[in-house]
Amino acid sequence: MRKYLFLILSIVTVLGISACDNKDQKADELPEFVEVDLTVNPEKGNVNEQMTFEAKVTQGDENVDDADEVTFEIWRAKDEKHEKIKVEHTEDGIYRLEKSFQQEGTYYIISHVTARDMHNMPKKVFVVGTPSEPEDPNESKNDMNMEGH
């Protein structure tokens, strides 16, 4: 008898939960991840030449123009000094920085994007003038010099 009572209570509980009003079903779904497409233009620049860094921030099909914070962290390979630059929204989910460099070498950029309770931080390698020794010994010169490929 107890088994039947437990079974009936279990069925009623499951039916009661599934019968709840799900008009706000979106609240139960996980939000889409905030994506960041980081670009460097040109990928191989010259000393004292302006380069453009852009983080295109989206969530699903929607441009994110209300990020809490977008910061670009830039440094030359094997340099302990990392420059952090806060970047503002320009247009259509794009956060842009234009910058030139006085020293040749291999550089890195990480875009730290905090938006809609999420954090994403893609990293790119770029070269100014002649490449210097990369930080990662597995990182080949071909990764930095994409010319002709």
Tokens encoding 1: 């008898």
- Nearest residue to 46 (alpha-carbon basis) of 124, 126, 110: 126
pLDDT at 27: 61
Strand partners, 123: 110
Residue 132 has a pLDDT of 93
What's the confidence (pLDDT) of residue 22?
47
Find residue 94's DSSP bridge partners.
56, 91
Cβ atoms within 10 Å, residue 77: 18
DSSP the chain: -HHHHHHHHHHHHHHHHHTS--TTGGGGSPPPPEEEEEEEESSEE-TT--EEEEEEEEETTEE----SEEEEEEEETT-S--EEEE--EEETTEEEEEE--SS-EEEEEEEEEEETTEEE--EEEEEESS----SSTT--HHHH--TT-
- Position 129 scores a pLDDT of 97
Indicate the CATH number of 34-134 among 2.60.40.1080, 2.60.120.380, 2.60.40.10, 3.40.630.10: 2.60.40.10
* Cα torsion angle, 52, 80, 130, 145, sign: negative
Tens digits of per-residue pLDDT, 22-50? 444 456 678 899 999 999 999 999 999 99
Which residues make beta-bridge pairs with 63?
58
Q: Which residue ranges make up each domain of the chain?
A: 34-134
Q: What is the pLDDT of residue 30?
A: 80
Q: pLDDT per residue over 57-110, tens digit each?
A: 999 999 999 999 999 999 999 999 999 999 999 999 999 999 999 999 999 999
pLDDT at 145: 42
Strand partners, 114: 69, 119
